[in-house]
Structure 1
C-alpha cells in the first residue's frame, strides 16, 4: 500500500508506534488523542528484547538501548527475603538480547518526535468508529482507508465495531506504580507475599521504578501511608523505597484483562495493544506486545493492501497475543493466594523447581522477530 490515509485513535505507546511505522512507509497519518497533549503520566517501563526488536523496525531501538540499559528479572523473593526463583541473568541476555528501562513519558516523547507535528491532534474525543473507516469525534467527522484503534482497555473503537462482545474484566487486584529517589538496589527483583507483591527495577539515572499489587475490590483507593504500613516488615530495601517515595509520585490503577476477541479486524478497522488484548502486568509484556502489533500491522498493510493486510495481521497477532495474555495470568496467580498453608507450600516448592520451568513462560515472548 503506497498511498492512502490512516487514522489512529489513541496517542499512547502503541498508537504512536503505529503512526511512526505508517509514516515511514509513506502513508498519510492522523492521530486522534483525547488528552490535551501527547504525554504519559506513568512511571517506569521495562522494554524486553522483543519490544526492542519492534523498535528496531522503526529505527528507534538503539536510542532506547543507549539511554536505558537494564537487566532481566533477577528472580523472586519471599517477603522475608529468601529466594524463591533465581534467574540466570547473563544467560537470558546471551540467548535473547538486551533489555532497557525507560520512563514512559520519555518513550512517548521519542515516538512523538518521529512523526510530523501536524499529524498529531490532541483534545479530540472519538465517539464512534465505523467499519467503513468513518470516525465521528468532537471535531467533526473524518474518514480514512484504515482506522487503527489504539485507545486502550476501555476502547471506543472496540465497543463501536464489536458492540455485543464482553468488556474487560477486573482480575481482583489493584496496581500501584511509583519512582523512588536514587538508591542502590540488587537488580530487578519481585517479592511475593500473601495476596500482595512488590517489585523494583533500577533505572539508568539511579532512581528506582517500583510496582506493587494487592488483592482489593475494584475501585479501592489506598494511599502511600497505608502501603508503607502494609509492607513495613518486608525485607529491605522495600520499606526504605516506600519511605523515600513522594505521595504525588504514586499512581494506582485497577488491573483488567480483556477476554479473547474473535478477531482484531473488521472492515477497514484494526485494534492493537490494550484495545485488542489487555493483559495483566505479570510478564511485563503489555507495551512490548503493542509495539509488535504496530510494526506488524504497518508492514502487512503496506505490503498487501488494507483488506489482505488486515487479514494477515489478525492471523499473525491474535494467536500470539492471546497466548501471552493466558501465560501472564498464570505467571502471577500464585502471588495472590491468601491461604497461609498454600503460600507456605508455594514458598517451599518454588526453589526446588528447575530453572527451565520458569523459562518456558518467557521464551515465546522474547523470541519474536518481525
Structure 2
C-alpha cells in the first residue's frame, strides 16, 4: 500500500469513482459527502467509448458491473436517428460498431445505478481502506505545499497528503484552487425523465428543433431515459411544480414528430428532474499545492456532447494512475497539464454547439440541419474521433 492518504470532497460519481480507483492501487481514501445518504437522483447517463475505457481503467470489476447494469450499443439493432422537429431524418448515428471503431461500446445506464455500483464497490474490502463520511459538508480547504486540509461545516479540520475537489459545478474548492470563476448559465434548462421504450426508435433517438434539443437512449429492455434542453431565462423552469414542467414541455413540443410527444407523456412525475444548465470558463489551473480538482468542479460542461460524466471518469482514471506511479507533486503537475488541455477544449466546443443547437433563428436552424445531413452515415466525424478515440 502506498503510504499516502487522499481526502475527497464530494461523494458523487467522480468522488466515488476516484475512491474505487485509488483503493485498487493501494491508496487510502476518505470521502466527505454533504448529503445524509446516497439518493435516487437524476435520470440516465450515456457512457461513450472514452468513458467506458476510463471505467475499465479504474477497475476491471467496475467495468463488468457497469456492462451488466446498462444497455450496451452492441445490443442496438438499429442506428440512432437524428431528426428535425418535423421528423425528417438528418443523419443516422451508427452505434453498433463502436467497439470495433473506438475500442469500447456506448452504454446507457441510470445515474442512480452507476452511483449504486460505485457505492457498493467502495464498501467492499480492498487493497486500502476507504471511509465515506455523510452529512460532512466541506466549507473550506487549504494547503501548505506538503499537505492539504479540509474544513467541515461542523468545525472539524482533516488533513491528508492530497485533497481532491469533486464537489460539483458550485465547487467550494474551485475558488481556492483557481480563483473566483463562477458558473455561467448557458441559456437553457434541462428536463430529464425515464419513459417506456416506444415501438418506433426504441433503442434511442435525437431531435433538433427551434430552441431546443431532445435526446433519448435505452438503458434496459423496456425503458429509456431522455433529456430535453429548452431555451429559458434562468430559474424559471426549476421553480415550476414537476407536473407543470411536464405539461409545459408537451405544450412546447407536443407538435414535434413521433416518438417525442408520447415519450414525454409516458414519463411518471417522480421520474422527472428539472435543472438549469451551467458551464464555467476554462480554468487556468486544476491544482495548487496539494489541492486538485476533477469533474464538474474543474470543467462543468453542458449536456450537448453528453460528456459530463465521461470527462469526470477520464479525470479519475488519469489522476489515480499518476498518484500510484509518481510522487505527489509530479503527479498533480502532469494531471493538470493533461486534463486541462483536453477538458477545456471540449467545454468550449460544447458551448459553441449549444448555441447552434438551441438557435431560434430559422435560417441558422436550416444551416444546422443541412450540416448534420451532409455527414455521411458512417463518417468518423472530427468530434467523434476527438472524443471517443481517447484512452486514459
Task: Say yes or no: TM over 0.5.
Answer: yes
Q: Does 1:84 align with 2:90?
A: yes
Q: Distance in 2 between matches of 1:202 and 1:87?
A: 15
SS at match of 1:210: strand
**1:126 aligned to which of 126, 134, 138:** 138
Match of 1:69 in 2: 71
Q: Does 1:103 align with 2:103?
A: no
Alpha-carbon contact 2:82-2:91 (below 8 Å) kept? yes
Q: Does 1:260 align with 2:275?
A: no
Q: Distance in 2 between matches of 1:357 and 1:328?
A: 20
Alpha-carbon contact 1:39-1:109 (below 8 Å) kept? no
Change (3 A) 1:245 1:356: closer
The alignment's TM-score, normalised by the length of structure 1, stands at: 0.94
Q: Distance in 2 between matches of 1:245 and 1:183?
A: 12
Change (3 A) 1:368 1:39: farther
Task: Return 5+ residue gaps in structure 2 as ranges.
Answer: 125-129
Q: Distance in 2 between matches of 1:288 and 1:350?
A: 23
Distance apart, 1:87 and its partner CA: 2.1
User: Which shows bigger deviation, 338-347 or 17-26?
Assistant: 338-347
The alignment's TM-score, normalised by the length of structure 2, stands at: 0.89
Q: Distance in 1 between matches of 2:11 and 2:181?
A: 24
Alpha-carbon contact 2:177-2:287 (below 8 Å) kept? no
Alpha-carbon contact 2:94-2:378 (below 8 Å) kept? no
Q: Distance in 2 between matches of 1:142 and 1:121?
A: 12
Distance apart, 1:355 and its partner CA: 5.3
Q: Distance in 2 between matches of 1:328 and 1:93?
A: 24
Match of 1:4 in 2: 4
SS at match of 2:3: coil
SS at match of 2:113: helix
Change (3 A) 1:228 1:287: same
Alpha-carbon contact 2:165-2:294 (below 8 Å) kept? yes
Where do 1:37-56 residues align within 5 Å?
A: 37-56=37-56
Q: Distance in 1 between matches of 2:368 and 2:387?
A: 25
**1:249 aligned to which of 271, 282, 286:** 271
Alpha-carbon contact 1:78-1:347 (below 8 Å) kept? yes
Distance apart, 1:141 and its partner CA: 0.8
Task: Return 5+ residue gaps in structure 1 as ranges.
Answer: none
Q: Distance in 1 between matches of 2:135 and 2:108?
A: 29
Aligned-pair Cα RMSD in Å: 1.9
Match of 2:215 in 1: 199
